[in-house]
A = this chain, B = another copy of it.
Amino acid sequence: MSGIDFQKFGLVGAGLVGGSIAARLARALPDTVLLVHDASPGNAAYVAERHPRSERVGTIAPLAGCDAIFVATPVATIAEQVVTLLQLPNSDALIIDTGSAKQAIVAAVATSGADAGRFVPGHPLAGGISAGPGRASGDIVTARPFVLTPTESTGAEALAHAKILLERLGAEVVEMTPDAHDRLLALGSHLPHLIAYALAGLGTDEPGDLLPASYRGIAAFAGSDAQMWSDIFRANSAELKAAMEEFKKRLDLIAAMADEPVPGVLLETLTDAKARIDALENEE
């Protein structure tokens, strides 16, 4: 590890989250250098423009000399990129990824046999609805907690340095296991998007101007990037299905209450759900 005197950064993946990281680096640590690599020259050039001392690189090799590297590619390709970076010769770079499903990434990196001591799995929770660098903003790093999910392989020093770096960027860091993260995201993000895609597939025979606001409001989450969500559903399919089964049971339970002879049970259940949502909204 090259310590906490971060001078030179690497970024692999110049999409929504990568663009936000570049913008945040430019603002919080303006004297540092950023090397940007992305398969799309357009994306890489866009992000490079947002950081005054950044440089686009055509291959991943030049990142070996960085103090810290962020991997913000689509979730399906993150593990491969992390393993390649870990195996670059003469590199002691800290590596932080931003994928929204952690167990699959952590497992694939472990299976590769690479020494993963320098790799700190992460996920900025504000990594939003739509993909692509055009929506990028420093807010994605700072607006919501930045979760880190260290494993037994993660070096204590790497974890400590990752926390220091993210806090310098203005992030609130929260630590949890990859399993806990994936369950939280399955319930809180992946299932809601699955719900939106399922609902959006049902309403097309109805005249659009007759579809009520609640249908539109929920199905609107299916307007997200299909490739990104296809990757996420596949990467976290086990936890997603577990959350979905719980959700389906809950649907059945409430629907059954609608047929009970007395209305009290249904009313109590809906009142309880409303109280939880009101409490959540009052927290903000």
A195 to B252, CA, bound (A): 11
The one of B188, B211, B244, B255 that contacts A211, using a Cβ cutoff of 8 Å: B188
Does A125 make an interface contact (CB < 8 A)?
A: yes
The one of B185, B195, B226, B248 that contacts A212, using a Cβ cutoff of 8 Å: B185
A247 and B202 contacting across the interface, CB-CB below 8 Å = yes
The one of B191, B215, B259 that contacts A237, using a Cβ cutoff of 8 Å: B259
Does A89 make an interface contact (CB < 8 A)?
A: no
User: Interface size (A, Cβ < 8 Å)?
Assistant: 85
Does A90 make an interface contact (CB < 8 A)?
A: no
Contacts of A113 in B (CB 8 A): none
A188 and B214 contacting across the interface, CB-CB below 8 Å = yes
Binary flags per residue of A231-242, CB closer than 8 Å to B gives 1, else 0: 101100100110
B192 and A214 contacting across the interface, CB-CB below 8 Å = yes
B241 and A255 contacting across the interface, CB-CB below 8 Å = yes
Does A162 make an interface contact (CB < 8 A)?
A: no
A187 to B206, CA, bound (A): 9
Contacts of A202 in B (CB 8 A): 187, 243, 246-247, 250
B274 and A200 contacting across the interface, CB-CB below 8 Å = yes
Question: With contacts A221-B214, A248-B248 known, is A263 near B234, CB below 8 A?
Answer: yes
B221 and A192 contacting across the interface, CB-CB below 8 Å = no
A277 to B222, CA, bound (A): 7
Binary flags per residue of A184-224, CB closer than 8 Å to B gives 1, else 0: 11011101111111111111101011111111111111111
Contacts of A251 in B (CB 8 A): 194-195, 198, 244, 248
A143: nearest residue on chain B (CB-CB)?
B213
A188 and B203 contacting across the interface, CB-CB below 8 Å = yes
Question: With contacts A188-B214, A223-B281, A237-B259 known, is A200 near B267, CB below 8 A?
Answer: no
Give the distance to chain B from A204, nearest Cβ to Cβ, in Å: 5
Binary flags per residue of A43-85, CB closer than 8 Å to B gives 1, else 0: 0000000000000000000000000000000001000000000
Does A227 make an interface contact (CB < 8 A)?
A: yes
A100: nearest residue on chain B (CB-CB)?
B212
A201 and B269 contacting across the interface, CB-CB below 8 Å = yes
Does A273 make an interface contact (CB < 8 A)?
A: yes
A244 to B247, CA, bound (A): 12
Excluding A76-B263, A219-B280, A234-B258, 10 further A-B contacts by CB distance (< 8 Å) are A129-B214, A188-B212, A197-B273, A199-B250, A200-B276, A201-B250, A201-B276, A216-B281, A220-B281, A223-B278
